[in-house]
């Protein structure tokens, strides 16, 4: 059970995160064209000391472009301060379904966190990439930048911008983090304020 001190710290962290979101979104609101929310549920089930089963469920909710739901499943390999996942991906939206391969790399280097994802589509000519570089600071906060791009025939979709996040603690066995980001498009696309909620859980099958 949570201690009183832990509950107080988590409530304080949530309040600080709300203030941070308000500041970031207020700065972006004058330029916002497509507000977006992404909730990511991530599980890793250890099979050996190094290998694990990996899965993600990621719904995207958007104000202008199509909502979609993404389901991933595959295997992963863990090092001392990094992991690599190789998965198959299926994406649903109201107009079409897509299949892709998905490769994810995550590494902690001291206070720095690096995440990179690449996904070649199998049902169309396109390649998706998403990358994050951020630094952990105080009280569970992190600040950095992210980019999410799709390379395809015709104009590419390119988006890059700052992000800030905070670890909120454990809920029902999941480590929960909240992230706010504002993405700008240098090639004429939408300005996108993003809100993420990320739920991570690791279990042992051995």
pLDDT tens-digit series, residues 142-194: 999 999 999 999 889 999 999 999 998 898 899 999 998 988 888 766 778 88
Segment 90-96 shows an average pLDDT of 87
- Give the domain ranges of the chain: 4-204
Distance CA 154, CA 175 (A): 40
Residue 142 near residue 164, CB atoms below 8 Å = yes
- Of the options 2.40.128.110, 3.10.450.630, 3.90.1300.10, 2.40.160.40, the CATH number for the domain spanning 4-204: 2.40.160.40
Mean pLDDT is highest, among 111-120, 161-170, 193-202, for 111-120
Q: Supply the pLDDT for residue 83.
A: 98
Distance CA 26, CA 36 (A): 15
Does pLDDT of 7 surpass 70? no
For residues 33 and 170, the model is more confident at: 170
% of the chain residues with pLDDT over 70: 82
Does pLDDT of 31 surpass 70? no
Distance CA 112, CA 32 (A): 29
Q: Supply the pLDDT for residue 33.
A: 57
Mean predicted lDDT score pLDDT of the chain: 86
Does pLDDT of 1 surpass 50? no
Task: Return the closest-CA partner of residue 36 out of 142, 176, 186, 185.
Answer: 185
Q: Whole-prediction pTM value?
A: 0.83
Q: Supply the pLDDT for residue 109.
A: 96
């Amino acid at each position: 059970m949570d201690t009183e001190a832990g509950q107080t710290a988590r409530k304080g962290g949530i309040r600080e995160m709300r203030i941070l979101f308000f500041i970031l979104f207020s700065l972006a609101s004058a330029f916002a064209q497509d507000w977006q929310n992404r909730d990511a549920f991530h599980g890793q089930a250890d099979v050996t000391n190094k290998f694990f089963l990996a899965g993600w469920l990621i719904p995207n909710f958007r104000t202008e472009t199509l909502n979609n739901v993404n389901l991933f499943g595959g295997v992963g390999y863990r090092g001392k301060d990094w992991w690599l996942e190789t998965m198959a991906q299926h994406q649903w939206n109201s107009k079409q379904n897509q299949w892709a391969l998905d490769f994810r790399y995550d590494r902690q280097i001291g206070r720095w966190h690096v995440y990179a994802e690449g996904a070649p589509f199998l049902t169309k000519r396109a390649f998706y990439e998403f990358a994050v570089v951020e630094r952990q600071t105080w009280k569970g906060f992190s600040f950095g930048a992210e980019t999410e791009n799709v390379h395809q025939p015709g104009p590419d979709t390119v988006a890059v911008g700052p992000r800030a996040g905070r670890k909120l603690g454990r809920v029902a066995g999941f480590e929960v983090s909240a992230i706010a980001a504002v993405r700008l498009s240098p090639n004429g696309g939408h300005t996108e304020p993003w809100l993420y909620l990320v739920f991570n859980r690791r279990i042992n099958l051995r």
